[in-house]
Structure 1
Amino acid sequence: MESSVDSAGTESQIKTDDLSERVLSQQEQDRLKDDRILVSEFKQQKLEKEAQKNWDLFYKRNTTNFFKDRHWTTREFEELKACREFEAQKLVLLEAGCGVGNCIFPLLEEDLNIFVYACDFSPRAVEFVKQNSLYSPGRCLAFQCDLTKDDLRNNISAESVDVATLIFVLSAIHPEKMQQALENLYRVLKPGGVVLFRDYGLYDHAMLRFKSGNRLGENFYVRQDGTRSYFFSKEMLARLFQDTGFESVVNEYVLRETVNKKEGLCVPRVFLQSKFRRPLTPNSQE
């Protein structure tokens, strides 16, 4: 699973390093306040039941052309290069929600000493990964996986992963199942292993442009294609990880502007970029 953040235009330089959430205009506040109608319980249950089908249809429509390759990950997350104890150590990475490989293949090109577990909710996305010319079973294992179930442990040994990435993935999971997904990640991480996180932040432009009738719950919305998106506050995200047993290393809003040249628009984007660590000492999650 991925989000449509990469398709929105050309991202400009960071607008501000302020760690507070985005300040809304009065018009934006009024619009959110007035949007109190929730999607019916029947439709919400149907969306949950058909979540995998909707993501599979997304990749059927867009194939490998929707997202840009993410060459920024090693710049933003130095752990992808610096977490080895010695130069010859192979880094074991799990990309949870790999999509069609826009993150993993730049990493495989850049670093010859890395092994990647790549999983996605969509079987079609996984097949696209396996069909990529850079895919090599000796360096990468791709498999279909529901992060909210025990699928990870069917493919990855406990305490064997150095780094796990959650990049525009957790927001697509129902809030009631997010903690289960994190618990499953926790179990495959080595003690001291880290989760590198980036996703939609509260009051991102994508949240504010939803029309009335698309709201599933607090900060949770459904797109026209049936895929869903949650928008995180710093506090909610920290609580979610800490309740699972992780230690918070970094948890910050990233405020940027995206320029859509085609439409002549400059819109504010809000992301959360965070790092959480599995403690070295045992706790209740082990």
Structure 2
Amino acid sequence: MSVLVTEASEYHSKDFNWETLRQEIENDPSLNYHLLPFPSPQQEEQHSRDSIKAWQNFHIQHSSGKFFKERRYLLKEFPELVSCEDGCKVLEVGCGNGSTALPILRGNEKIILYACDCSNETLERAKEFVAASNVVSVEHRFHPFCCDFVTTGFPKWLTCDYCREMFALKGQNYLSDVREKRTHETDICCVGGVDFITLIFTLSAVPLQTMPTAIRECFSVLKPGGLLLFRDYGLYDMTMLRFEPEQRVGFREYMRSDGTRSYFFSLDVVRNLFICAGFIELEIEYCCVKSVNRQNGKSMRRVWVHADPANGDIQSDRGELKMKLFEPSQYHGTHTTSNS
């Protein structure tokens, strides 16, 4: 068996039960502070500005790209990206240095990828990272643009006036009316909505109180019947338990020393956030994996949520959460509920 196949098998194994982990954590007095209620958070506007600035500084500090590994597992985790038809449009939200964009572009030459981030410096690194890869026709298929989708919303060209009118009629007119300046990257005709949105380790970096707005923005640019692919930190992942009491900035919400933040999701929170925004859940479950740190030999328990049994390789030392969601049935004429 090859190393890749072995890693893929380990990646999807259920090494421990999440409920057992939950009981262990909740019965450990030394970890009790993770469970305590938290006072009202600071003002949303200030919270958002501080978070954006912290992430901009983080990406500048790690601009070499060595900090982020290319997420080669994505096409195994989300095979829909491999089988989609010619001209399929994907929106990568919070693209960072391009570690998610590149495997998508490399894995399917038919995909057109729109990638946004709140930092111009980060987008420059992403463009350099993708350009250096020699991916076929990448200059015609990769469209990065600067956007803080939480505070200003997505640019109008991602969807069309007809779509906006339909959302308004349905009471779902969430698309931003912000007038953005067009650049050569965004000087394109109406995209007409996207077929897929990838939200990979992005939502957890957004202040909790702004998450509903962020998800509604994603809903507003997704085509009827489109698919949102979500992956993020899971509750009681080892990285959550490493935070000290003074690093708590909310319930299940923490801030690192550099000012970047992270929220750890339970299934119920993810389900409620997305369903309230108008999505339909296809599948969501915890996946718990033990991994060994190669440097110190210590075992690490990571919490993920998997939507299907697709294979993938280990790429990070963090807990992850993955979910697939469709737009509601009234927009595409079919009722979709599936656990397969």
Could you state the TM-score of these two structures normalised by the residue count of structure 1?
A: 0.85
Aligned residue for 1:276?
A: 325
Q: Distance in 2 between matches of 1:40 and 1:183?
A: 23
Question: Which of 100, 104, 109 is matched with 1:103 structurally?
Answer: 100
Structure 2 counterpart SS, 1:225:
coil
Aligned residue for 1:31?
A: 30
Shift of 1:141: 0.8
Q: Does the 8 Å CA contact 1:254/1:273 hold for their aligned counterparts?
A: no
Aligned residue for 2:69?
A: 68
Moved more, 65-74 or 28-37: 28-37
Q: Does the 8 Å CA contact 1:37/1:215 hold for their aligned counterparts?
A: no
Q: Distance in 2 between matches of 1:123 and 1:215?
A: 29
Moved more, 272-281 or 231-240: 272-281
Aligned residue for 1:261?
A: 294
Could you state the TM-score of these two structures normalised by the residue count of structure 2?
A: 0.72
Q: Structure 1 139/211 Cα, relative in aligned 2: closer, same or farther at 3 Å?
A: same
Q: Point out where structure 2 has 5 or more consecutive residues left out of the alignment.
A: 1-6, 161-191, 305-320, 333-340
Structure 1 counterpart SS, 2:290:
strand
Q: In structure 1, what residue type is equivalent to 2:217?
A: N
> For residues 1-286 of structure 1, what are the structure 2 equivalents within 5 Å?
12-16=10-14, 20-21=18-19, 22-25=21-24, 29-34=28-33, 36=36, 48-63=48-63, 64-84=65-85, 89-132=86-129, 133=131, 134=133, 136-158=138-160, 159-271=192-304, 272-282=321-331
Q: Distance in 2 between matches of 1:47 and 1:225?
A: 15
Q: In structure 2, what residue type is equivalent to 1:194?
A: L
Q: Which has a greater percent of strand?
A: 1
Structure 2 counterpart SS, 1:254:
strand
Shift of 1:43: 10
Q: Structure 1 187/46 Cα, relative in aligned 2: closer, same or farther at 3 Å?
A: closer
Q: Structure 1 278/228 Cα, relative in aligned 2: closer, same or farther at 3 Å?
A: same
Shift of 1:67: 1.0
Q: Distance in 1 between matches of 2:327 and 2:43?
A: 37
Q: Structure 1 190/18 Cα, relative in aligned 2: closer, same or farther at 3 Å?
A: farther
Q: Does the 8 Å CA contact 2:75/2:107 hold for their aligned counterparts?
A: no
Structure 2 counterpart SS, 1:124:
helix
Structure 1 counterpart SS, 2:155:
helix
Q: Distance in 1 between matches of 2:41 and 2:328?
A: 39
Q: In structure 1, what residue type is equivalent to 2:234?
A: G
Aligned residue for 1:4?
A: none
Shift of 1:204: 0.4
Shift of 1:28: 6.5
Shift of 1:103: 1.3
Q: Structure 1 273/40 Cα, relative in aligned 2: closer, same or farther at 3 Å?
A: closer
Q: Distance in 2 between matches of 1:77 and 1:277?
A: 14
Q: Structure 1 28/200 Cα, relative in aligned 2: closer, same or farther at 3 Å?
A: farther
Q: Does the 8 Å CA contact 1:39/1:213 hold for their aligned counterparts?
A: no
Q: Distance in 1 between matches of 2:330 and 2:26?
A: 49
Q: Distance in 2 between matches of 1:256 and 1:170?
A: 22
Q: Distance in 1 between matches of 2:289 and 2:199?
A: 20
Aligned residue for 2:338?
A: none
Moved more, 121-130 or 45-54: 45-54
Q: Distance in 1 between matches of 2:252 and 2:54?
A: 20
Larger radius of gyration: 2
Structure 1 counterpart SS, 2:54:
helix
Q: Structure 1 34/18 Cα, relative in aligned 2: closer, same or farther at 3 Å?
A: closer
Q: Does the 8 Å CA contact 2:37/2:251 hold for their aligned counterparts?
A: no
